Every structure is written in structure tokens, then in C-alpha cells.
Amino acid sequence: MWSILADLFVGIFDFVLDVFLFRGLRRKHGRRDRSVAEDAFEVARFDFVTMTFIALVCVGLMLLLTHGVGLSVGWSVGIGIAVGAVWGVWRYFRLVRE
């Protein structure tokens, strides 16, 4: 039970820290100020919607490469993770710049 509470606390702390880091990055880049609620919504949308979509597409790519193309599992997983990492970083930088 304590591990569930600890994970919940860490998750909430991580989300709040992400919002304040996001606000700091936007301020550093000279972007317009938004309310904390708007920034929290954008970070939550990125964390839950965008990253879930990227993960599902990358898993589909891994399965396609393994079963459709015939690549080994190791290469398929490596390519899928690389595509997901690049796509996630690109989307985060777009989020900071908007």
C-alpha cells in the first residue's frame, strides 16, 4: 500500500514540476504568458494523449517490422524506440515553441 501512495505522490510531484519547467522554458524563449491552468492542460495533453499515440504507433511499427518485413525482434524494437524518441522530442519542442 505504501508503494502505491509513494507512486501517486511522485507522479503528482513530477506533473507539477513538468508544468513549472514548461512555464520556465516558455518564458526563457520569450513566448506569451498563459495561465497555470492552460499550461497544466497542455502538459497533461502531451503526457497522456500525445505520448500514448506515439507509443501505439511505435508498437505498430515494431510489429510490422517483425511480422510483415521479417526483421529480427531486436532490430524492430530498436527502430521503434528510436522513432518514438525522436518523434517525442520533436513534439515536445513544438509544444514549447507554440
Q: Side chain identity at 20, as an amino acid letter?
A: F
- With pLDDT > 70 as the criterion, what percentage of the chain qualifies? 100
Rg (CA), the chain: 17
pLDDT of 96 above 90:
no
Query: What is the predicted pLDDT for the residue at 25?
Result: 87
- Cα–Cα distances (Å) from 87 to 57, 58, 83, 91, 94, in that order, read 11, 10, 6, 6, 11
Query: What is the predicted pLDDT for the residue at 84?
Result: 96
* 4-25 pLDDT tens trace: 999 999 999 999 999 999 888 8
pLDDT of 73 above 90:
yes
Looking at the whole model, is its pTM more than 0.85? Answer: no
